[in-house]
């Protein structure tokens, strides 16, 4: 089972969503308070299961409504995803993947793990 890990950084507080094997499957922005970070976690828990996938790496991709996972190429040409809430704000981002299949597996892992994941510090 996955878990959210809340961490203090030099500039604030953030979370990582880790899969059962300990791999980080999504991470947050840096928040200014723990309360804001916990709200971000709750937003991921709420939005991830119902979010559509918008694959921006294919030409003429259909635009999806929020909440959604956006799949895109980063500057190095690798695949990444970001989860956007119903208000369009980015609430979680992925690591880089060499293959689209790995990125899609990451999205499925977030959808599966986020709703019931406990929060640890």
pTM value > 0.85 = yes
Helix (H) or strand (E) holding 16: strand 13-18
Compute mean pLDDT per 10 residues along the chain, 121 residues long, and list them. 95 96 95 97 97 97 96 97 96 97 97 96 91
Q: What integer pLDDT is reported at residue 58 of this predicted model? A: 95
Delimit the domains of the chain by residue range: 3-120
One CATH from 1.10.510.10, 2.60.40.640, 2.30.29.80, 1.10.287.610 for 3-120: 2.30.29.80
- Residues 6+ away with beta carbon under 8 Å from 74: 80, 96
What is the DSSP code (8-state) at residue 113?
Answer: H
The dihedral formed by the CA atoms of 80, 39, 111 and 118, expressed in degrees to the nearest 10: 120
The dihedral formed by the CA atoms of 71, 74, 77 and 79, expressed in degrees to the nearest 10: -30
């Amino acid at each position: 089972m996955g878990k959210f890990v809340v961490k203090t950084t030099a500039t604030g507080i953030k979370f990582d969503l880790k899969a059962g094997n300990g791999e980080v499957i999504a991470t947050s922005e840096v928040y200014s308070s723990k309360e804001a970070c916990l709200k971000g976690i709750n937003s991921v828990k709420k939005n991830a299961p119902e979010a559509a996938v918008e694959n921006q790496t294919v030409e003429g991709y259909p635009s999806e409504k929020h909440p959604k996972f956006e799949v895109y190429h980063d500057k190095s040409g690798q695949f990444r995803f970001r989860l956007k809430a119903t208000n369009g704000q980015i609430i979680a981002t992925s690591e880089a993947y060499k293959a689209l299949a790995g990125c899609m597996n990451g999205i499925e892992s977030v959808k599966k793990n986020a709703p019931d994941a406990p929060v640890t510090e």
